[in-house]
Amino acid sequence: MSNKIKRAIISISDKSEIKLILNTLKKYKVNIISSGGTSKEINKLGFKCTDVSEYTKTDEILDGRVKTLHPKLYAGILSKRDNENHEKELKKNNYEAIDLVIVNFYPFEEILKNTKNHNKLIENIDIGGPTLVRAAAKNYKYTTVLTSPHQYKEFILDLEKNKGFTSLELRKKLSQEAFNSTAYYDSVISEYLNNINNDYFPQKKTIHGNLVEVLRYGENPHQQSAIYSKNSKLDISQLSGKKLSYNNYNDIYAALNISRTFPKNNGTVIIKHANPCGVSINNSKIESYKEALACDPVSAFGGIVSCNFKVNKKIALELNKIFLEVIVALGFDKDSLKILKKKKNLRLIDASKLSEQNFKNITSHFDTLLLQSADNKTFTKDNFKVVSKIKPTKKILDNLLFAFNVCRNVKSNAIVLSRNSSTVGIGSGQPSRLDSCKIAIEKMNTFQRIKENDIIIGASDAFFPFVDGIETLVQNGVSAIIQPSGSIRDKEIIKFADKLGIILVFSKTRHFKH
């Protein structure tokens, strides 16, 4: 079913490309109703329109809060053109059908980024716009609705193809997009109100996002996948290389979760399958990369490197020596780009503009959503307590906190071994904590040259329920251990640590990562 466009109402905040649509409407002799800034812009561009107040014979009131909320408009939008009773009621009330609604909303989301003024934000909650859009979208069988300048070209092509009419197929598609727009708009507002009321888990939860890209597939080729962002685009930008995959994004964010907990412009993380296989915060940028790689060079092959600093020529030459899928950094200088771009498939990601805002983790299973706050708070020494008789030096304590910080980003059960703020062995994802200890030790013994006077640190993401894990670590050179408290055997663990003559530090917080 095609529908002739005779009358349109236009009320838009985003006036880009409005001239394009006005030229088309003039061509097909469409009468335009408008108000406020939109009406002024239409007249300024040399086109005619009827003011809403003139059309409804009702002035806007309440400082513009009530402009388009009038039965003459909504009856015109919502009437069924093939319903005799509707036609009679329109004639009886001297109303006319409105065939096209072009509306986009007050820019609440943009204003939210630039102000915390609550009153200003409230005044930028659009009422009339979403109401017009919902009415037109509901009545898509007869009414066409446009909510974005991105839709204008498609609408114009359809209108020209059908000689002043729109196709039902297009109207149905635009209706879907309209309801997506109103749902998104309302969800931004509801999240803002939830946040200012500290209600992070409300009775009804909506999550909004903009499509960034439909990916080739998900974790596996038979799975569909896409990435969305609350912003119009991602805070990270790809500078070179193949298109990113679902697994690439997953690994990139796993790497950034760790590197953004480091001191500014410091540290290197190497990720494989969302787990770190090497981490270092050596003050020398080139040495931090070399030490991270040395932790497990076999697993690093085909992995993702995240440099918490700007990559230069010297570092690029080192990075170029092995096969990597992705390099993430806080920018790349010109020389490094020349070197790294020679590998056409190597993806280079600039994360220098990544937002530091608090965020929540979302997991979905069987049409349910699991939400939790991110485990990304900066550690303070108040969160830890030395419980052994032997006390750590400042250097050892800093090393313990480094290992524990890495540990919270390793899949549970997690064990991290470190030396001089660089990992030397990582055991991850095992049902048994003892097995994770053995894997970390095996990695260390395979790839590291441990000297007799080296101080090896052990970190666990949760408490050791039995002494066997600690005993295994100490037998393999670990002399200081950090773990969460909370076991019924905490006293037994402390007593055992003192018997072995090692340093033991308890954390007040556990850090499982599943």
| Helix 168-196 / helix 128-138 crossing angle, nearest 10 deg | 140
Better pLDDT: 375 or 192: 192
Q: Residue 292: its pLDDT value, please?
A: 96
The number of residues in the chain equals: 514
* CB of 373 closer than 8 Å to CB of 200: yes
- 257 with 376: CB under 8 angstroms? yes
Q: Which of 420, 417, 440, 419 is nearest to 430 (CA)?
A: 440
Q: Which pLDDT belongs to residue 17?
A: 87
The SS3 call for residue 219 is: coil
Calculate the average pLDDT of the chain. Answer: 91
Reply yes or no on domain 381-507 having CATH 3.40.140.20: yes
The pLDDT value recorded for residue 180 is: 95
Provide the pLDDT for residue 379.
Answer: 84
**Encoded tokens for 445:** 């013994």
Contact 383, 401 (CB under 8 A): no
- What would the mean pLDDT of 102-113 be, rounded to a whole number? 90
- What is the H or E stretch that residue 252 is in? helix 246-259
Q: Which residue has the tokens 């408290």?
A: 485
> Token match 């790294």: residue?
340
H helix intervals, 28-103:
36-44, 52-56, 71-78, 84-92
Residues 56 and 73: beta-carbon distance below 8 Å: yes
d(CA 432, CA 338): 46
Name the residue with tokens 């080192």. Answer: 318
Give one DSSP letter per residue of 379-406, joined into a string: P-GGGEEE-SSSPPPHHHHHHHHHHHHH
Q: Residue 225 and residue 414: Cα distance in Å, rounded? A: 29
- Find out whether 228 and 201 touch, Cβ atoms under 8 Å: no
Distances in Å between the alpha carbon of 144 and those of 2, 29, 68, 232?
Answer: 11, 16, 18, 25
Assigned token pair, 131: 């109401």
**Given the residues 6, 15, 273, 343, the one annotated as active site:** 273
pLDDT at 424: 96
Cα separations (Å) of 480 from 115, 419, 455? Answer: 48, 11, 8
Is residue 356 pLDDT above 70, yes or no?
A: no
Q: Which of 6, 86, 138, 313 is catalytic?
A: 138
How many of the other CB atoms lie within 10 Å of CB of 370?
9
Indicate if 138 belongs to the active site: yes
Q: Which of 90-99, 113-122, 140-149, 354-363 has the lowest mean pLDDT?
A: 354-363
pLDDT tens for each residue of 204-216: 888 888 899 999 8
pLDDT tens digits along 479-511: 999 999 988 888 888 999 999 999 999 998 888
Q: How far apart are CA 106 and CA 114, in angstroms?
A: 14
The pairing of strands 31-34 and 50-51 is parallel
| Helix or strand run (H / E) with residue 209 | none
Dihedrals φ, ψ of 365, to 5°? -145, 130
Structure tokens at 62: 């309440």
Class of domain 236-350: alpha beta
- The reply to whether 236-350 and 381-507 are identical in fold is yes
* Other beta carbons within 10 Å of 397: 19
Task: Return d(Cα 323, Cα 25) in angstroms, integer.
Answer: 56
Cα of first residue to Cα of last residue in the chain, in angstroms, is 52
Per-residue pLDDT tens over the stretch 281-301:
988 999 999 999 999 999 999
The Cα 269–Cα 148 span in angstroms is 41
CATH number of 3-196: 3.40.50.1380
Q: Catalytic residue at 273?
A: yes
Separation of alpha carbons 59 and 55, rounded Å: 10
Residue 329: band (very low, low, confident or very high) from pLDDT cuts 50, 70, 90: very high
Tell me the per-residue pLDDT of 142-188, one tens digit each, with 9 for 90 and over.
999 999 999 999 999 999 999 899 999 999 999 999 999 999 999 99
What amino acid occupies position 74? Y
**Cis amide prior to 413 (ω within 30 degrees):** yes
Q: pLDDT-derived band of residue 236, with 50, 70 and 90 as boundaries?
A: very high
Q: CB atoms < 10 A from the CB of 475, how many?
A: 10
What separation in angstroms does the CA of 149 have from each of 63, 169, 259? Answer: 27, 19, 39
- 416-458 pLDDT tens trace: 999 999 999 999 988 998 999 999 999 999 998 888 888 999 9
Amino acid, res. 209: G
For the stretch 381-411, pLDDT in tens is 888 999 999 999 999 999 999 999 999 999 8
Report the range of poorest mean pLDDT among 1-10, 176-185, 325-334, 409-418: 1-10
pTM: 0.85
Single out the residue of 12, 178, 196 nearest to residue 105, CA to CA.
Answer: 12
Q: What ranges do the domains of the chain cover? A: 3-196, 236-350, 381-507
